[in-house]
C-alpha cells in the first residue's frame, strides 16, 4: 500500500471538537493526567473506591483534560488563560463533593448556597466541555431540557399542557443533578467511568501492540484475492469487523481501516464516493460488533439490569446480519460496477497467522470470561493484562514501558469526549426523571399510533433517527432509553428487544448529517464529496436496519436475540438473510444481471414482507421474490438471445 497518502487524524475530521497539540509543561501535564486517568480506572477494578467519589474524581480529571486538550475555538491553538481558569474551576467545583462527602450526600433535599453555586458552575463546565468535544447541539439540547424543568407550569399557556408539569426551582434542579446519583453522576457517567474506559484501554493496548495492523493484514491475506472484483470490498468488511470488535468506535474504525484499504479499493475500480461508503459502513459496524461494541451497549446492561455478557449474546446475530448485509451489497455493487481483482498479500495467510495469530487470543479470552459470568470490568481487565503479556512474544510487538505508557495515555485522551457526552446526557436524564417527561412522551407516541404495535415501532424509529440527527450515538440512546423505550414496552414489546431496537436506530446518527462522522471521515480519506459519500453509506447500511423490525414485530424474529431454541434461531436467520439479499439486490440493482426498475421494486417489496415474518407475509414475500427473479431470468435470457 505504498501509494497510501498520510491519513487525516480523527481530530482533523471532527471539525466541531478539534484537539490541539500542546508542548512544554502543559503538554506534559496533559499526558500525565491522561495516563493517570487510565491507571485510576485499572486501579478501581482491583480496589474499593466509593462509587460517588470515583465518579466525581473521574469527571474532575476528565474536565481538566478537556480544557487542556480541546480548543475553545478553531483559532485557539494554545492553552489560554480562560482554559486554565476553567480547569481550576473544575478542580474547585468537583473537589467540594469529595471534601465534604459525609455531609454532602445528605443535603440534596436542603442544599446550602455553596452547594447550589458550585453545582451551577459544574453544569456550566460540563456543557462547555461537551461543546468543545462533540459540538454545540448536545449542550444546547441539555439547556432546553433545563429550561423545560424550570418553566414546566408555563407550558399550558402555549398549548403544551400534555407535557406540562409543576416546575422546579433552580436549587431543586441543581441539587438533583449535582448532589445525587440521578443526574450528572448517574448511570451514563458511571458506565463511561467503569465499562467504557476499560474497553478503550484494551483497544489501545491492542492497537499499540500491532494487533490493529495485523487484523487488517490478516483480512487482506484471507479474502483480498478471492471473489473477483468483490474481493477488495469483502476484505474491507472482514477487516472492519476484526478491528471493530475491539475498538467500539465507528469513526476510529473507519479512519484506521481506510488508511490501509482505500488504495486497494481505488485500484479495484471503486469511485471515491462508493469506496468511502464501503469504508464507513464497515467502520460503523464497530458500534454493534461484540465483544467490545459501542458505549451505548454498556448502557443497555445498566438500564435493563442484566449482565454485559447477556447484551453481547443478544447482539451476536444482529451484528452478523449487519455484516452479511454489507457483504451482499458489496457483491451486488461490484458486479454492477464491474470492479476488478487486486492481487494483495497472496499466499501469506498462514505465515502471517503463525507469526502474529496470538493477537486473537485475548479476544477469545474476553468472550470466554464474559460467557463464564465474569463481570465485564474484570473480564476486560484480565484480557488487557493478557494482551500485554502476549505482546512480548515478538520483539516488534512488545509493549516495553515507553510504548505501554503511550497506549495508556492515548486511552485516557480518547475517553475524554465520551465522559463529556455522558455527563451532559446525565443532565438530560435527570430532568426527564424528575419531571416524568419520559412517560408523557411515550404516552404521546402510543396515542398517535392508536395502540398499533407496527405504528408504534415506526414512530419510535423515526423519533430515534431524528434525535440522532442532533446528538451522537451514546447520547441518542440514553435519551431514547428514558423517553421512547417505554412506548415500545407499553404495546407489548419485550424490554430487551425495545432497547436493542433504539440502540440500532441510535447508530443511524453515524450516517446522518450533521453528525455523520464516519462517512465524513471516509470522504476525507478518499477525497470524495462528503454528502454523496453519506448518501451511498445510507444505501449500504439501511438494509441492515430493517433487522430491528424483525425482532420487534415478528414472533419468529425474536429468536434473533438469543437465547432461543436453535431451530427457531436458524429459521429466523435464514429468513433475515433472504430478506436482506432482496434489499441488497433492490438497492444495487443487480440479480444475475442489471435489474430494471420493476424488478428492483419487487425485490424491495419481497424484502419487507419477509422481514415482517408472519406466515402470511412470508408466503406472499416468497411469491413476489419468485416473480421478480423469474421475470429477471426470463428477461435477461431473452436479451442475451
Contact 505, 464 (CB under 8 A): yes
Residue 598 in domain: yes
pLDDT at 7: 47
Q: Structure pTM?
A: 0.86
593 secondary structure, DSSP code:
S
Residue identified by cell 471503486 is 270
The Cα 474–Cα 359 span in angstroms is 28
Contact 506, 468 (CB under 8 A): yes
Residue 615 in domain: yes
**What is the SS3 assignment for 420-446?**
HHHHHHHHHHHHHHHHCHHHHHHHHHH
Give backbone dihedrals phi and psi of 594, rounded to 5 degrees, phi first: -60, 130
Residue 527 in domain: no
pLDDT at 171: 94
6 secondary structure, DSSP code:
P
pLDDT at 224: 62
Residue 624 in domain: yes
pLDDT at 227: 58
The Cα 456–Cα 375 span in angstroms is 35
Residue 229 in domain: no
Give backbone dihedrals phi and psi of 48, rounded to 5 degrees, phi first: -110, 115
pLDDT at 244: 80
Give backbone dihedrals phi and psi of 590, rounded to 5 degrees, phi first: -145, 135
pLDDT at 546: 85
Q: What total number of domains does the chain contain?
A: 1
Residue 627 in domain: yes
| Domain range for 584 | 556-641
Contacts of 457-466 with CB under 8 Å at 24 or more apart are 457/488, 457/493, 457/501, 457/549, 457/552, 457/553, 459/487, 460/484, 460/487, 460/488, 460/501, 460/502, 460/505, 461/501, 461/505, 461/548, 461/549, 464/502, 464/505, 464/506, 464/508, 465/505, 465/508, 465/512
pLDDT at 63: 97
The Cα 417–Cα 34 span in angstroms is 12
pLDDT at 451: 85
The Cα 268–Cα 167 span in angstroms is 61
The Cα 438–Cα 480 span in angstroms is 9
Mean per-residue pLDDT pooled into runs of 10, the chain (641 residues): 43 55 91 97 92 95 96 86 97 96 88 96 97 90 94 84 88 95 93 91 92 84 68 85 79 80 86 92 87 83 90 91 90 85 66 92 90 88 96 95 96 92 93 89 90 92 84 87 92 93 86 77 86 88 83 88 87 93 90 91 93 89 95 84 52
Q: Establish how many alpha carbons lie within 13 A of residue 203's alpha carbon, considering only the half-sphere containing its beta carbon.
A: 28
Contact 30, 53 (CB under 8 A): no
Contact 337, 269 (CB under 8 A): yes
Residue 424 in domain: no
471 secondary structure, DSSP code:
S
Residue 344 in domain: no
Amino acid at each position: 500500500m505504498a501509494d497510501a497518502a498520510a491519513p487525516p487524524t480523527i481530530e482533523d475530521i471532527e471539525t466541531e471538537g478539534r484537539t490541539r497539540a500542546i508542548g512544554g509543561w502543559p503538554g506534559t501535564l496533559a499526558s500525565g493526567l491522561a495516563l493517570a486517568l487510565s491507571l485510576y480506572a485499572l486501579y478501581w477494578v482491583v480496589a474499593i473506591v466509593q462509587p460517588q467519589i470515583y465518579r466525581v474524581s473521574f469527571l474532575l480529571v476528565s474536565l481538566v483534560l478537556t480544557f487542556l486538550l480541546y480548543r475553545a475555538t478553531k483559532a485557539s491553538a494554545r492553552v489560554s488563560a480562560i482554559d486554565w481558569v476553567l480547569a481550576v474551576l473544575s478542580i474547585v467545583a468537583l473537589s467540594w463533593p469529595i471534601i465534604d462527602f459525609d455531609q454532602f450526600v445528605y443535603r440534596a433535599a436542603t442544599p446550602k448556597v455553596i452547594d447550589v453555586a458550585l453545582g451551577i458552575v459544574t453544569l456550566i463546565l460540563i456543557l462547555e466541555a461537551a461543546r468543545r468535544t462533540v459540538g454545540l447541539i448536545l449542550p444546547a439540547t441539555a439547556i432546553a431540557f433545563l429550561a423545560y424543568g424550570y418553566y414546566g407550569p408555563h407550558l399550558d399557556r402555549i398549548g403544551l399542557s400534555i407535557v406540562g408539569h409543576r416546575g422546579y426551582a433552580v436549587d431543586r434542579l441543581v441539587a438533583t443533578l449535582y448532589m445525587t446519583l440521578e443526574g450528572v453522576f448517574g448511570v451514563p457517567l458511571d458506565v463511561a467511568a467503569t465499562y467504557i474506559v476499560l474497553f478503550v484501554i484494551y483497544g489501545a493496548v491492542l492497537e499499540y501492540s500491532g494487533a490493529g495492523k495485523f487484523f487488517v493484514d490478516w483480512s487482506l491475506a484471507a479474502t483480498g484475492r478471492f471473489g473477483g472484483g468483490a474481493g477488495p470490498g469483502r476484505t474491507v468488511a472482514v477487516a472492519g469487523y476484526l478491528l471493530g470488535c475491539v475498538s467500539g468506535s465507528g469513526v476510529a474504525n473507519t479512519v484506521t481501516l481506510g488508511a490501509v484499504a482505500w488504495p486497494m479499493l481505488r485500484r479495484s475500480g471503486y469511485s471515491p464516493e462508493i469506496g468511502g461508503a464501503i469504508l464507513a459502513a464497515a467502520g460503523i459496524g464497530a458500534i454493534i460488533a461484540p465483544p467490545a461494541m459501542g458505549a451505548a451497549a454498556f448502557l443497555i446492561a445498566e438500564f435493563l439490569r442484566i449482565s454485559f455478557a447477556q447484551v453481547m449474546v443478544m447482539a451476536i446475530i444482529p451484528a452478523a446480519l449487519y455484516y452479511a448485509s454489507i457483504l451482499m451489497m458489496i457483491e451486488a455493487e461490484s458486479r454492477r460496477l464491474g470492479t476488478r481483482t487486486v492481487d494483495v498479500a497472496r499466499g501469506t495467510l498462514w505465515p502471517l497467522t503463525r507469526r502474529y495469530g496470538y493477537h486473537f487470543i485475548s479476544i477469545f479470552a474476553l468472550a470466554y470470561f464474559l460467557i463464564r459470568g465474569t463481570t465485564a470490568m474484570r473480564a476486560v481487565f484480565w484480557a488487557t493484562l493478557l494482551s500485554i503479556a502476549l505482546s512480548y512474544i515478538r520483539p516488534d510487538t512488545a509493549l516495553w514501558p515507553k510504548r505501554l505508557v503511550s497506549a495508556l495515555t492515548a486511552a485516557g485522551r480518547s475517553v475524554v469526549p465520551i465522559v463529556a457526552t455522558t455527563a451532559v446526557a446525565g443532565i438530560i436524564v435527570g430532568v426527564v426523571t424528575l419531571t416524568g417527561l419520559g412517560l408523557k412522551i411515550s404516552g404521546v407516541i402510543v396515542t398517535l399510533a392508536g395502540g398499533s404495535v407496527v405504528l408504534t415501532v415506526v414512530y419510535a424509529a423515526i423519533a430515534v433517527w431524528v434525535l440522532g440527527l442532533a446528538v451522537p450515538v451514546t447520547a441518542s440512546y440514553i435519551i431514547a432509553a428514558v423517553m421512547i423505550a417505554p412506548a415500545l414496552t407499553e404495546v407489548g414489546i419485550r424490554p430487551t428487544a425495545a432497547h436493542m431496537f433504539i440502540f440500532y436506530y441510535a447508530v443511524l446518527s453515524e450516517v446522518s448529517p450533521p453528525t455523520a462522522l464516519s462517512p465524513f471521515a471516509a470522504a476525507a480519506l478518499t477525497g470524495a464529496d462528503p454528502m454523496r459519500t453519506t448518501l451511498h453509506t445510507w444505501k449500504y447500511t439501511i438494509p441492515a436496519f430493517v433487522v430491528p423490525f424483525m425482532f420487534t414485530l415478528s414472533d419468529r424474529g425474536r429468536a434473533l436475540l438469543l437465547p432461543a431454541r436453535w431451530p427457531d434461531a436458524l429459521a429466523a436467520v435464514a429468513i433475515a438473510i433472504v430478506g436482506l439479499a432482496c434489499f441488497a439486490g433492490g438497492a444495487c440493482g443487480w440479480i444475475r444481471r442489471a435489474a430494471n426498475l420493476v424488478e428492483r421494486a419487487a425485490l424491495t417489496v419481497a424484502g419487507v414482507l419477509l422481514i415482517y415474518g408472519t406466515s402470511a407475509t412470508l408466503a406472499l414475500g416468497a411469491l413476489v421474490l419468485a416473480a421478480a427473479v423469474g421475470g429477471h431470468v426470463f428477461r435477461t435470457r431473452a436479451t442475451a438471445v
